[in-house]
Amino acid sequence: MPERVLLDWLYVAVFAVVGVVMATLPLGIVWLLAPRVELPQKRMTYESGVVPFGQAWAQFNIRYYLFALIFVLFEVEVIYLFPWAVVFRQLGKFAFIEAVLFIVILGMGLIYAWRKGALEWV
Amino acid sequence: MNWFVEILKAILLTVVLFTFLAVVAAMLGVLAERKISGWIQSRLGPKHVGPQGLLQTVADTVKLLQKEHITPLNADALTFNIAPVMVVVAALLAWMIIPFGPAFGRVLVVRDINIGLLFFIAMASLIVIGILLGGWSSNNKYALLGGFRAASQMISYEIPLALAMMVPIMMAGTLSTVGIVEAQAGGTLDMGNWFIFGGRFQWRGVIPSVIAFAMFLTAATAETNRVPFDLPEAESELVAGFFTEYTGMRFALFQLGEYAEAFAMAALASVLFLGGWHGPVLPGVAWFFIKMFALVFFLMWVRWTYPRLRFDQLLNLSWKGLVPLGFLLVLLTGWLLV
Amino acid sequence: MGELAAFIILAIVTLLPAVVVVTNRNLVRAAMSLIPSFLGVTGLFVLLGAEFVAGIQILIYAGAIAVLILFVIMLTEGGTGLAVRQVNEQRQWGALTAGILTAGLVVILLGTPWQITAGTLPRSNVEAVGIALLTDFVLAFEISSLVLLVSLVGALVIARREQ
């Protein structure tokens, strides 16, 4: 059995490595075929036709971060539900009640975030 | 077991799957998108290259291969080049677990990984990082905004996506995609007991799976940044969003990644809810493709039906709509099936 | 033999990017290097036969946590891509703490009698985890939901204060 698991993931590793090679291959072809002409304006970033103003890399809207934070917590919760979803029919009523408790407790977290306006995009 | 032979087989399969995605998902997908768009809007779509414009995307690919690579002067060049490759590879890996159907006495699937569906979502979450890095590294304001929008949108819809998957998982009791399709076997004329019709659970299965199917398609549309959730690349406000600065083949790689993911979502939806390869008369592989293309057509149809959402509406739909609904759905399914 | 080779490759994949994480002066690149490092750890979990944990490792660490870290860095000063200062006044204290920690870990590692004989692996990793969570470790399962709730509330309180 572990042999099969190792083989599965060996395939994953090979796919990742060969996939990178396959994806870079067309870039190599481009490098061979495509023209290269240097013009000073060419490598400016596009800003609707005007000369770019300042840097794009700057601090802005921290709101995005709040959503990422909530996301991480709910992702972890979903992870807990995966093994439960697989086995709950083998274990019957008791397992179901456990999940109800689990989800209700975390539902309170969602309600808290909602009431405190953390889910609001301002 | 001969590991060397297995590695060679894996390399061969990678090349086959990559070519399949490049031809079917990217070339055929883009052509179908343009033809269907034309049809819905009462135009002809591409028509001049090859019979009925069939070779249009082939010509486009040849053209893209000759385009110069332009890396913006202020960009983070290394990250700028890694990002599209990362998106493509993650989409390719997601396809590893999609079963095409029985042929030559076995099921056509690259590897039936035990934790298949978890693996699929994990790969979808790696695409987020590729897009975020691509948007940031361009050092362009539109790209940066597009990257952030894309990332926060995709993470917001990852949870509803996982919760919608939970219903078929609960009905089949496994995370393996082949296992889920096999749990939908049977029915008259080998139709299969599709989970959307309740599978073995009759009416008790119908209610949750219909809701889950709708939820899955919504979340999948958002996850692949397609209209009406295409805010990251909203051309009327952000030029092209996170790939504004990408030219030529690297732009094509992003496109390949997106279409490969959209097709993977359609394929997975047919595996989870529509019985995968099960169907009467025709061979299983044919049924798989019919179902997948029907769902791809649906995604393209939606594109010309709904207007784009506002960003706050988009986040509200996920966090105040689909996420609580998803948790309630899991509870409802548990209550009905236990 | 093959296992040893795989372990060495995975250890390199894990450790090399980790060195980049602590030495690179560009914060975004440092955060980016976390991803191959996380994926290397995924491979180590697979070698141990812990497939489910490997899946979690990709989804939570390489997917969720990395996005969170990148968001934080890109939305603040780190996102400017400029080099930041790598060391500060407390360098000696940091080195001392790291040294003590390493020494402690080495002592514990050498002192632990490791059980070499392998147990039997369950047919399905997820099923085994699920059954264990729902029967023997019910309390842990429920408490983890409370821990998650507390961390959510705590994170929101801190994040809102900073606004």
pLDDT value of residue B110: 83
What would the pLDDT profile of A58-96 be if each residue is shown by its tens digit?
666 677 888 888 888 889 889 988 988 888 888 888 888
Task: Count chain A–chain C contacts defined by CB atoms under 8 A.
Answer: 140
- The span from the CA of B284 to the CA of B300, in Å, is 24
Dihedral (CA of B312, B313, B315, B316) sign: positive
pLDDT value of residue A64: 80
Which of A70, A91, A109 is nearest residue C149 as measured by Cβ atoms?
A109
Which of C52, C63, C142 is nearest residue A102 as measured by Cβ atoms?
C142
Residue B307 has pLDDT above 90, yes or no: no
Residue pair B241/B232 in contact (Cβ under 8 Å)? The answer is yes
Question: In 3D, which of A91, B46, B162 has the Cα closest to residue C63?
Answer: B162
The DSSP string of chain A is: -HHHHHHHHHHHHHHHHHHHHHHHHHHHHHHHHS-----TTTTSPPSTTSPP-S-S-----THHHHHHHHHHHHHHHHHHHHHHHHHHHHH-HHHHHHHHHHHHHHHHHHHHHHHTTTT---
- The span from the CA of C40 to the CA of B178, in Å, is 27
Global confidence as pTM: 0.89
Residue type at C147? Answer: V
pLDDT (mean) for B5-33: 87
Residue pair B153/B125 in contact (Cβ under 8 Å)? The answer is no
Residue pair B221/B232 in contact (Cβ under 8 Å)? The answer is no
Residue A1 has pLDDT above 60, yes or no: no
Residue B135 has pLDDT above 80, yes or no: yes
Interface check for A116 against chain B (CB to CB < 8 A): the answer is no
- The span from the CA of B258 to the CA of B261, in Å, is 5
Interface check for A106 against chain C (CB to CB < 8 A): the answer is yes
What would the pLDDT profile of B38-50 be if each residue is shown by its tens digit?
888 888 888 888 7
Interface check for A98 against chain B (CB to CB < 8 A): the answer is no
- The span from the CA of C18 to the CA of B245, in Å, is 30
Two tokens, residue C80: 């400017």
C131–A118 C-beta distance less than 8 A:
no
Two tokens, residue A4: 């099969």
C-alpha C45: how far from chain center: 12
Residue B216 has pLDDT above 90, yes or no: yes
Interface check for B73 against chain A (CB to CB < 8 A): the answer is yes
Residue pair B248/B18 in contact (Cβ under 8 Å)? The answer is no
Q: Which chains touch C (3 or more CB pairs under 8 A)?
A: A, B
Preceding peptide of B99 cis, ω within 30°:
no
Any idea which residue has 């056509």 for tokens?
B108
**Torsions phi, psi of C86, nearest 5?**
-95, -30
pLDDT value of residue C125: 79
CA distance A102 to chain C (A): 6
pLDDT, block means (10 residues), chain C with 163 residues: 83 91 83 91 87 90 89 72 68 90 93 74 78 85 88 84 63
Nearest 10 degrees: Cα torsion B189, B190, B195, B197: 0
Q: How confident is the model at residue B26 (pLDDT cuts 50, 70, 90)?
A: confident
A1–C54 C-beta distance less than 8 A:
no
The percent of chain C in helix, strand and coil, each rounded to the nearest 5, is 80, 0, 20
pLDDT value of residue B9: 86
**Torsions phi, psi of B103, nearest 5?**
-160, 145
pLDDT value of residue A89: 83
Q: How confident is the model at residue B143 (pLDDT cuts 50, 70, 90)?
A: confident
pLDDT value of residue A37: 80
Question: In 3D, which of C157, B198, B117, C44 has the Cα closest to residue A70?
Answer: C157
A10–B250 C-beta distance less than 8 A:
no
pLDDT (mean) for B149-177: 89
Interface check for A121 against chain C (CB to CB < 8 A): the answer is no
C71–B126 C-beta distance less than 8 A:
no
A24–B85 C-beta distance less than 8 A:
yes
ipTM: 0.86
Residue A42 has pLDDT above 80, yes or no: no
Q: What is the 3-state secondary structure (H, E, C) of B126-177?
A: HHHHHHHHHHHHCCCHHHHHHHHHHHHHHHHHHHHHHHHHHHHHHHHCCCCH
Among B19-33, B93-107, B263-277, C111-125, the least confident range = C111-125
pLDDT value of residue B88: 92
Alpha helices in C48-124 (DSSP H): 51-56, 66-75, 91-111
- The span from the CA of C95 to the CA of C79, in Å, is 28
C-alpha A87: how far from chain center: 27
Which of B79, B126, B155 is nearest residue C32 as measured by Cβ atoms?
B79
Nearest 10 degrees: Cα torsion A17, A19, A22, A28: -60
Among A35-44, B123-132, C88-97, the least confident range = A35-44
